[in-house]
Chains A and B, each alone.
Chain A
């Protein structure tokens, strides 16, 4: 890893250190119902949204009411997005005359964007019309992010309130998150991206005659606006097939680091908001520290591994960085970013459930690709997706408290809320659902010869390719080892089911836990209380996260990336 790679990592850290407390405090105000300096802009828009949809913004919902509204909104979203894709031939803004995707592909894509996964079994340039990209995919980039944050906020309210039956109003959280957080920040980010060279137009591909007289069609599109929310909302679905490796999505070393910061911003900031909203700032910092250490612990090794290069290329290929040589494993990477910062992007995107790539993960070194895989297996808590990262790590925090309580014989409690059998059953369910989905689906797919035909690479790398797909889908990440051809009826359907399970089969137990915790009173701290705002607790939380995941996935990770590494390094 070069000095310059480390410097770019530190630039991201410094940018986050400055912006996370500001953004975290702002979001805490938004979700506490505080007014803003731009109230005269936000309020009329929100009131209009409430009025037309018949929502009373003053009323609150129980956990059941909250989750019912959430599921209804998501179900309607899947249907509408499916419909837009299937009808795009007859809808406006289709300058390239793109026909409709097949039914399995449209199903997969609809589920993918509604679950904030953004797994893409299609190529953006040639499969989706401008209308679909704007009114279908961009919209879900916003609202699926707002839904994720809403669940996290409801869980925070359950912890911060005492003996409450209600956890807020889903519609209000959805609207305020979209109007006051996502749209303004994405707008500012999009302006920065356009200034950095990302395109923003509504044109059909533009035919040019190149220097040597060949023909080249340069694509058009409202790219910067989608790129901004793609990163900010930890969505990750590329406007183009190459995602953020495409120069029109990510033109320079500056936009690269900017996009990395943007995709980490909300997941880290929500931990800060949590501390503010429970009125114990140190509790938020303890969670934030666990997220940050897990993140740094994965991005730095990934950067070092990719900057080191691919030993199998032999001595005739110069992979050592110098003033004139861009070093490292450059297969599938852009020279303007360099190998280290490419890995910084992909590792941050897998750690946040963004799933965007600025380089092709399938061509990463065996262990570099393994880091990306493990980031997703951690259950997306380092710092995880918008909202899902926070509620995921809060579940693990409650589990940690429970384990620690068992070890020392104390009654487990988190933020003064007793953790009892009802919560622990739901947490057990939460922990088991995703690994069950990943391992079963991978095993079934690899046992079917027709599905194995979708693999580009074979041997240990082929196993990783399939495992990566189901890990990505079930954890709602969307990152891909893109050698796998997922656009088959079987994979479209099964990956779609995994995405639905990974999203909603987790949200329902989380909301049930929130309902149960909300009803409890807050016990005042005593000498016997396990403190959860200390470095010791942060360490425990990291340990529980790694061990729970490690024990589940270690055998299959051994057969994939670890075997491949041992083979390539003789």
Chain B
């Protein structure tokens, strides 16, 4: 009796594995690759014919020494330094002194880098790490505070840069879902295209 039950359990598990573990993901992969290959393969963005990243995955805009480059909009701080194979947050609790010191330090650095007077309120997304460490977006306020610095570094008019920020702002889906945000990689790629002309 027991042997029959165990045999049924094993065969049932293996047959359900064929259905749910092999047929299900493979059929869906096939469908996705035919219907929306761009999205199914990671929404890649290209420059000069080469993939430079994904519109969904944030990346760092720093020099070889890790210093932020003034000619690019800077993404949020990242717990994984935008290593897309090590997603995650800092997991620091709200009262952890390490978190509070880090936020204060990042706020000072943000004001200095963007030539803002001391004490200027900094949007919190600019000084906090995201959950994934790969957040591709920043808030509009964060982008607008960075715009004059980017314009100066590129010898563009601030109005022109602000117009680009507006163009690469994604509004709420159906006017309700999510938050209006600016995609940093798309915006920086657009800036590079302007710079080339």
Q: Which residues of A contact B (CB under 8 A)?
A: 4, 7-8, 11, 45, 48-49, 52-55, 68-69, 72-73, 75-77, 80, 123, 125-126, 134-136, 138-139, 141-143, 171, 174-175, 178-179, 182-183, 186-187, 190-191, 194-203, 205-206, 208-212, 214, 216-220, 222, 224-226, 229, 240-242, 245-248, 251-254, 256-257, 309-310, 312-319, 322-338, 341-342, 357-360, 362-366, 456-457, 459, 461, 465, 481-483, 564, 567-568
A294 to B131, CA, bound (A): 27
A567 to B97, CA, bound (A): 13
User: A109 to nearest B CB, angstroms?
Assistant: 15
- B144 on the A face (CB < 8 A): yes
Q: Nearest chain-A residue to B43 (Cβ)? A: A197
A98 to B4, CA, bound (A): 36
B9 x A335 contact (CB < 8 A)? no
A564 to B30, CA, bound (A): 50
Chain A contacts for B178, CB-based, 8 A: 252-254, 256, 336-338, 341
User: B54 to nearest A CB, angstroms?
Assistant: 6
Chain B contacts for A126, CB-based, 8 A: 85-86
B62 x A212 contact (CB < 8 A)? yes
Q: Nearest chain-B residue to A132 (Cβ)? A: B21
* A11-B176, A139-B21, A209-B50 as given contacts; A242 in contact with B87, CB under 8 Å: yes
B179 x A337 contact (CB < 8 A)? yes
* A211-B53, A252-B178 as given contacts; A222 in contact with B59, CB under 8 Å: no
If A210-B52, A363-B99 are given as contacts, then 12 extra A-B residue pairs at C-beta distance below 8 Å, sorted by A number, are A4-B176, A76-B9, A126-B85, A134-B22, A206-B51, A218-B54, A218-B84, A241-B87, A241-B88, A246-B132, A313-B100, A457-B91
- B20 on the A face (CB < 8 A): yes
Chain B contacts for A457, CB-based, 8 A: 91-93, 96
User: B154 to nearest A CB, angstroms?
Assistant: 14
Interface residues of B in 104-162 (CB under 8 A from A): 104, 107, 119-125, 127-141, 144
A179 to B24, CA, bound (A): 11
Chain B contacts for A219, CB-based, 8 A: 84-85
* A191-B31, A217-B85, A332-B89 as given contacts; A55 in contact with B172, CB under 8 Å: no
Q: Nearest chain-A residue to B138 (Cβ)? A: A335
Option from B12, B87, B119 in Cβ contact (under 8 Å) with A240: B87
A-B contact list, 27 entries, CB within 8 Å:
A54-B7, A72-B2, A76-B6, A76-B10, A139-B16, A174-B12, A187-B24, A199-B39, A200-B28, A201-B32, A217-B85, A218-B53, A218-B57, A225-B28, A225-B29, A242-B132, A245-B132, A253-B172, A256-B177, A317-B123, A325-B140, A335-B137, A336-B137, A360-B131, A362-B92, A482-B89, A564-B94
B92 x A197 contact (CB < 8 A)? no
Chain A contacts for B22, CB-based, 8 A: 134-135
Chain A contacts for B87, CB-based, 8 A: 123, 125, 240-242, 245-246
User: B76 to nearest A CB, angstroms?
Assistant: 7
B119 x A200 contact (CB < 8 A)? no
A182 to B103, CA, bound (A): 44
A218 to B41, CA, bound (A): 10
Chain A contacts for B11, CB-based, 8 A: 52-54
Option from B99, B173, B189 in Cβ contact (under 8 Å) with A211: B189
- B163 on the A face (CB < 8 A): no
* A211-B52, A242-B134, A358-B131 as given contacts; A195 in contact with B89, CB under 8 Å: no
Interface residues of B in 59-110 (CB under 8 A from A): 59-63, 69, 72, 76, 82-96, 99-100, 103-104, 107
B93 x A138 contact (CB < 8 A)? no
Chain A contacts for B174, CB-based, 8 A: 254
Option from B20, B35, B85, B89 in Cβ contact (under 8 Å) with A245: B89
A11 to B174, CA, bound (A): 11
Chain B contacts for A209, CB-based, 8 A: 50, 52
A247 to B137, CA, bound (A): 10
Option from B29, B95, B96, B123 in Cβ contact (under 8 Å) with A222: B29
Interface size on B, residues (CB 8 A): 108
Q: Nearest chain-A residue to B119 (Cβ)? A: A316
Chain B contacts for A199, CB-based, 8 A: 39-42
A254 x B177 contact (CB < 8 A)? yes
A248 x B176 contact (CB < 8 A)? no
* A54-B4, A69-B8, A208-B51 as given contacts; A363 in contact with B124, CB under 8 Å: no
B56 x A248 contact (CB < 8 A)? yes
A143 x B29 contact (CB < 8 A)? no
Q: Nearest chain-B residue to A362 (Cβ)? A: B91
Interface contacts (Cβ under 8 Å), in number, total: 399
Chain A contacts for B133, CB-based, 8 A: 242
* Secondary structure class of chain B's binding surface, majority of residues: mixed
A45 to B144, CA, bound (A): 58
- B194 on the A face (CB < 8 A): no
A318 x B131 contact (CB < 8 A)? no
Give the 3 A-B residue pairs with the shortest CB-CB distance, closest first: A253-B178, A245-B131, A242-B87
B172 x A220 contact (CB < 8 A)? no
Name which of A226, A335, A341, A358 has the most chain B CB atoms within 10 A of its CB: A335
* A135-B22, A200-B32 as given contacts; A252 in contact with B173, CB under 8 Å: yes
Q: Nearest chain-B residue to A138 (Cβ)? A: B21
User: A141 to nearest B CB, angstroms?
Assistant: 8
Chain A contacts for B9, CB-based, 8 A: 69, 72-73, 75-76
A331 x B99 contact (CB < 8 A)? yes
User: A417 to nearest B CB, angstroms?
Assistant: 29
A360 to B92, CA, bound (A): 9
User: B94 to nearest A CB, angstroms?
Assistant: 5
A360 x B89 contact (CB < 8 A)? yes
A201 to B95, CA, bound (A): 41
Chain B contacts for A201, CB-based, 8 A: 29, 32-33, 40-42
A228 to B95, CA, bound (A): 35
B85 x A205 contact (CB < 8 A)? yes
A319 x B40 contact (CB < 8 A)? no
A220 to B40, CA, bound (A): 9
Q: Nearest chain-B residue to A251 (Cβ)? A: B56
* A218-B42, A245-B87, A366-B94 as given contacts; A334 in contact with B20, CB under 8 Å: no
Chain A contacts for B59, CB-based, 8 A: 210-211, 214, 216
A72 to B4, CA, bound (A): 10
Option from B39, B107, B172 in Cβ contact (under 8 Å) with A316: B107
B39 x A197 contact (CB < 8 A)? yes
Chain A contacts for B54, CB-based, 8 A: 208, 218, 247
A336 x B12 contact (CB < 8 A)? no
A194 x B15 contact (CB < 8 A)? no
Q: Nearest chain-A residue to B130 (Cβ)? A: A334
Option from A49, A246, A323, A362 in Cβ contact (under 8 Å) with B93: A362
A338 to B123, CA, bound (A): 13
Chain A contacts for B123, CB-based, 8 A: 317-318, 324-326
Chain A contacts for B12, CB-based, 8 A: 49, 53, 55, 73, 171, 174-175
A322 to B142, CA, bound (A): 12
A201 to B9, CA, bound (A): 31
